[in-house]
C-alpha cells in the first residue's frame, strides 16, 4: 500500500513552484484507456464518444455503449474519466443521422445542438452513461457537452439527467455518485460569457481546436490556413483568460483538451493563464508531465499580460520561448 501511495505521488505533475497540473489523455475508444493508464495519465480528459458511432450502419445500442463506457472507467481504476456526448456534425457525419445539407456545416447542427430533433439519441446515451458503475463505487465518471454556446444548451440536458436518475432509482442506490456535468469551451460566446456558464456547470474543458477555428474564422481543415491556425493567437489566449476568470468565480476547474494541451510552448502559456488540467493523446502524457515539472507558473503568470498584448501567434510563441525559465 505504501508503494502504491508513493507511486501515485511520484507521478504527479507539479510545477517548480508547486502547482498541481492534472495531465490526462484523450481517447476515442475504451481500448485506448489502458494505454493512457500505462502512460501515467491522471485521468481521461476527453473520450470522444462519437468514434463509437462512426463507421456503423446504425447507432450502437445502449448495452453496447454502456459496456464501452464501463470499460474505460474500469481501465482508469477510479481516476476521473470525462466522456463527451456525441459530437457529430461539421466534419464528422453519420449516414444514419440525416442532419440535412447546409452551406456552413461547422456553424450548423453539431454537438449538443442535436438536442433539437435528435433527443432520443442523446437521452439514450445519457442513460447508458448513468447505468455505468464506476469501480468500487468511486466517482470518476464526468459527462461533458460539446459545442455549447450558452446555458440553453445545458439546462435541458441537466433536466434529462435528473429525470433519468429518478427513473433508474439511482437516488436510492448507496453506491451511486452523481456524475459532474461540464462543458467544452469551443465557441467564442461560451468563453465570453464563461461566468454565466460557470454558475450552472461543474467544469470547463477548452477545445482549442474549435475555439481557434471559430475565433480566427479559419477552417481547421483548410490546408492553406494551417500555419496560422495557432491557439497561441492573443485573441484565443484572451478567451482562455476569460474562461479561467469566469470559472474562478464559482470554484470550477478549467482544462484544455485541444491539441495545444500537448504542445510545450502552448502548455507554458496555458498554465500561466491558470489552466489546471491538460488532456492529450496518451503517448504525449509522460513528456508533458516532465515538461510541467520544469515550469515556474507564478513567474510566467506575473508577465503573461505582455503576451496577450502582442500582435500574432508567432510573436507569442517566441515571447513564451524566451520567457520560460526551466530546470534541465
What is the footprint of ligand PEP within residues 126-155 (CB under 6 A)?
A: none
Among 13, 27, 48, 288, binds ligand PEP (CB under 6 A): 48
The cell for 180 is: 459532474
Nearest to 182 by CA among 145, 149, 147: 145
294-328 b/e (C-beta count within 10 Å ≥ 16 → b): ebbbebbeeebeebeebeebeebbebbeebbeeee
The nearer residue to ligand PEP, 122 or 324, going by C-beta atoms, is: 122
x-or-dash string of contact with Mg ion, 170-209, rule CB under 5 A: ----------------x--------------------x--
The nearer residue to ligand PEP, 15 or 208, going by C-beta atoms, is: 208
What is the footprint of ligand PEP within residues 59-98 (CB under 6 A)?
A: 87
Nearest to 76 by CA among 28, 139, 128: 139
Give dist(CA 324, CA 271) in Å, integer.
Answer: 12
Among 15, 49, 65, 208, binds ligand PEP (CB under 6 A): 208
Of 1-9, 150-158, 210-218, 273-281, which part binds Mg ion (CB under 5 A)? 210-218
Q: Which residues contact 302 (CB under 8 A, 6 or more apart)?
A: none
Give dist(CA 13, CA 10) in Å, integer.
Answer: 8
Residues touching Mg ion: how many (CB under 5 A)?
3
The yes or no reply on residue 258 touching ligand PEP (CB under 6 A) is yes
The nearer residue to ligand PEP, 134 or 262, going by C-beta atoms, is: 262
The cell for 109 is: 447542427
The yes or no reply on residue 210 touching Mg ion (CB under 5 A) is yes
Which residues form the interface with ligand PEP (CB under 6 A)? 46, 48, 87, 186, 207-210, 257-258
Amino acid at each position: 500500500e505504501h508503494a502504491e501511495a508513493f507511486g501515485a505521488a511520484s507521478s504527479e505533475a507539479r510545477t517548480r513552484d508547486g502547482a498541481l497540473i492534472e495531465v490526462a489523455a484523450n481517447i476515442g475508444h475504451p481500448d485506448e484507456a489502458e494505454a493512457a493508464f500505462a502512460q501515467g495519465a491522471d485521468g481521461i480528459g476527453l473520450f470522444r464518444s462519437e468514434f463509437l458511432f462512426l463507421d456503423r450502419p446504425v447507432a450502437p445500442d445502449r448495452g453496447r455503449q454502456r459496456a464501452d463506457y464501463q470499460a474505460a472507467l474500469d481501465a482508469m481504476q477510479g481516476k476521473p474519466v470525462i466522456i463527451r456526448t456525441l459530437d457529430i456534425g461539421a466534419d464528422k457525419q453519420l449516414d444514419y443521422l440525416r442532419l440535412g445539407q447546409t452551406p456552413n456545416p461547422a456553424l450548423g447542427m453539431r454537438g449538443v445542438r442535436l438536442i433539437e430533433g435528435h433527443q432520443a439519441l442523446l437521452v439514450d446515451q445519457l442513460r447508458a452513461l448513468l447505468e455505468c458503475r464506476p469501480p468500487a463505487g468511486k466517482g470518476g465518471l464526468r459527462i461533458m457537452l460539446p459545442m455549447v454556446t450558452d446555458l440553453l444548451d445545458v439546462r435541458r440536458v441537466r433536466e434529462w439527467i435528473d429525470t433519468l436518475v429518478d427513473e433508474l432509482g439511482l437516488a436510492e442506490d448507496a453506491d451511486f455518485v452523481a456524475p459532474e456535468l461540464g462543458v467544452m469551451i469551443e465557441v467564442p460566446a461560451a468563453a465570453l460569457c464563461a461566468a454565466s456558464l460557470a454558475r450552472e456547470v461543474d467544469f470547463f474543458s477548452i477545445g482549442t481546436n474549435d475555439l481557434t477555428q471559430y475565433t480566427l474564422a479559419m477552417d481547421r481543415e483548410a490546408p492553406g490556413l494551417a500555419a496560422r491556425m495557432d491557439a497561441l493567437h492573443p485573441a484565443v489566449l484572451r478567451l482562455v483568460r476569460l474562461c479561467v476568470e469566469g470559472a474562478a468565480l464559482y470554484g470550477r476547474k478549467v482544462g484544455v483538451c485541444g491539441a495545444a494541451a500537448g504542445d510545450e510552448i502552448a502548455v507554458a502559456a496555458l498554465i500561466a493563464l491558470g489552466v489546471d488540467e491538460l488532456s492529450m493523446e496518451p503517448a504525449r502524457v509522460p513528456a508533458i508531465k516532465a515538461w510541467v515539472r520544469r515550469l515556474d507558473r507564478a513567474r510566467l503568470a506575473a508577465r503573461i499580460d505582455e503576451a496577450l498584448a502582442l500582435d500574432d501567434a508567432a510573436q507569442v510563441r517566441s515571447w513564451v520561448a524566451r520567457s520560460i525559465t526551466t530546470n534541465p
